[in-house]
Chains A and B, each alone.
Chain A
Amino acid sequence: MIEGALWRRWVFYNIPLILFVFVLLFPFYWMIITTFRPDGELYRPWNAVNYMPFWTNNPTLEHIFYLFEETNFMRWMFNTMFIALVSTVISLFCGVLAGYALARLNFPYAGGLGTAIFITYLVPQTLLFIPLAEIIRNFRLGDTPWSLILTYPTFLIPFCTWLMMGYFKAIPKELEECARIDGASRWKAMVYIVIPVAVPGILSSGIIAFTLSWNEFIYALVFLSSPDQKTVPVGVTSELIRGDVFFWGPLMAGALLGSIPVAIVYSFFVEHYVSGLTGSVKG
């Protein structure tokens, strides 16, 4: 909290905060209001007498019905959910094991390897999809969920590994040593002591990995082509923008409904999530 004169608090604290919140929340507001406005209002010119962009007096569910009845939206939701879950599980499994190894097993070049893994995360997807497309084609995985389930981990595993490595390093190594003296093998010490203690860290990387794969666009756009294989971000944008015609109502309804699962995941784990990112382990 900034102390001092009132104007100071407004200039340095309140006004920036309000602006920030406004910028973050306005798209959501726009999404919601557009979802519930009838087409007649949506396509009304801005200089019309009754032009009213931020509110509607005739809310309607027609866009949502359109989405469910005229498009494969439910199918897209299911695809996205399936792909995001499976690739998150794969990435978490690998990331936890690799992060543990890099943090705790003192093998030669562990530090260098850790950095190398992080660097792979920095390669832009917009370049990586070109060689990956070749690989997907060779394995004949194009237009199947597996094309994404197997390619998402290319950026999720480095990310999870890096996050988990930091988290494991913050866990006192005496915990594990004590377990090993108590009669646990290295593996059992990891399973019974280190991993349960690292749950907040695992949840955080899981949530972020899930969100990243849920929102992923480029790979999904390139590797999937048939309408019933698509994920929500690709499906909504490719099926509801035809040429230069934007179906704003269903588009926004799709965006709104598509963001709900992520919002639920975040709100459900928010406590663990925060303690995971701040890395607090108390003995």
Chain B
Amino acid sequence: MAEVSIRKLNKMFDVTHVVKDVDLEIRDKEFVVLVGPSGCGKTTTLRMVAGLEAITSGQILIDDAVVNEVPPMDRDIAMVFQNYALYPHMSVAGNMAFGLKMRKFAKPEIETRIKRAAAILGIENLLERKPRQLSGGQRQRVALGRAIVRDPKVFLFDEPLSNLDAKLRVQMRVELKKLHERLGTTAIYVTHDQVEAMTLGDRVVVMKDGWVQQVGEPLELYNTPANRFVAGFIGSPAMNFIEATLGESGGAVVAEAPGLRLALPGPLAARARAKAGRAVTIGIRPEDVHVATDSDAPDLCFDATVEVVEQLGSEILLDTRVGSATVVASVEPTMRIRSNDRLRLSLKPERLHLFDSETEAAI
């Protein structure tokens, strides 16, 4: 049972302002992921929750108690580090026991807890080994085990999977998810990988330059990004952006760019009407672009030249040129398309996004 509240949190390193007015309410048992490019302040935020960095201004509360001045040892949290930070001179069991010994647990209790955690993680046969005798994945498990045995109020994860190879990373991601479902401990997870954020998080916090850009459930971020940065950061392959101008013609609101003229659908048109004449950015995800058929409305179609064909097996990614912009489309793997082909493409109107070019906020 633990809630974490972050209120108007700021961090200055000398003159560099790295975390700016971060507000976040983390509910009990929730798995929240902080995601963003390097230098966005996500790790610093996590370290402030851990008590490893002093707070410049603002408050952090764990279960309604302000912990700003509470040392890390008294916050009842556990942290998994990117480089695992296993104690090299201790065995696996010793690593897991250390936190419990520091908290003066009785010996039998320590042993029970280590056994239980080792069983959960499948590392029972490694307990006597030293960290240097373990593989990357095993070290990762030990680091997790060290956090689990403590049964803390909050788990903090600082990019725990980024030192693993791609295949193992996917596997550990699934295990982390299962582990969280099983233990139900509140968790804050920092990563720069949006796939990890989308798959692991109950809610995802996107950060950039110290500011929180958007907080929401993964699909919420995916479907209704608050601004251009979130739209471009979440989703792979990334959303297409086309610089355009808004105009009105015959009562309809249209977005115009070289080689492209789109009539905006109802609700979007209503929101965009006030900005007629302004520069905007059109956003559309590759999977929402398709090769036009007769059933597509003509004012949602445009011509494109295929530049690169990327065969992924399950889909084909087409890098196409539309006027001066590049549009990536994801099409059926059965289609026979070669580079330099000319195509007529269309898009799903309800999946169209518009961003103000100046403020980058979604319209």
Contacts and interface: CB of A to CB of B under 8 A. Distances in A.
B85 A175 contact: yes
A184 B86 contact: no
A182 B146 contact: yes
Interface stretch (B75-83, B212-220, B321-329, B353-361): B75-83
A192 B101 CA distance: 11
A281 B85 CA distance: 12
Interface residues of B, number: 28
A172 B83 contact: yes
A181 B83 contact: no
Contacts of B102: 179, 182-184, 188
B84 interface: yes
A115 interface: no
Given A181-B78, A185-B71, A192 B88 contact: no
Interface in B39-82: 50-52, 71-73, 75, 77-79, 81-82
B103 interface: yes
Nearest to B50: A181
A195 B19 CA distance: 34
Contacts of A271: none
Given A193-B87, A196-B89, A282-B88, A178 B79 contact: yes
Nearest to B152: A181
A134 interface: no
B278 interface: no
Q: Which of A178, A192, A196 has the most CB atoms of chain B within a 10 A radius of its CB?
A: A178
A197 interface: yes
A183 B71 contact: no
B351 to A, nearest CB: 43
A179 B50 CA distance: 12
B99 interface: yes
A178 B102 CA distance: 12
Interface string B150-163: 10000000000000
Interface in A140-183: 172, 174-175, 177-183
Contacts of B150: 182-183
A124 interface: no
B326 to A, nearest CB: 41
A283 interface: yes
B36 interface: no
Contacts of B88: 175, 197, 281-283
A179 B87 contact: yes
12 contacts: A175-B88, A177-B72, A177-B85, A180-B51, A180-B71, A180-B72, A181-B77, A182-B99, A182-B102, A182-B150, A197-B87, A282-B88
Given A181-B79, A182-B99, 10 more contacts: A174-B81, A175-B88, A177-B52, A177-B85, A179-B98, A180-B52, A181-B50, A181-B77, A283-B83, A283-B84
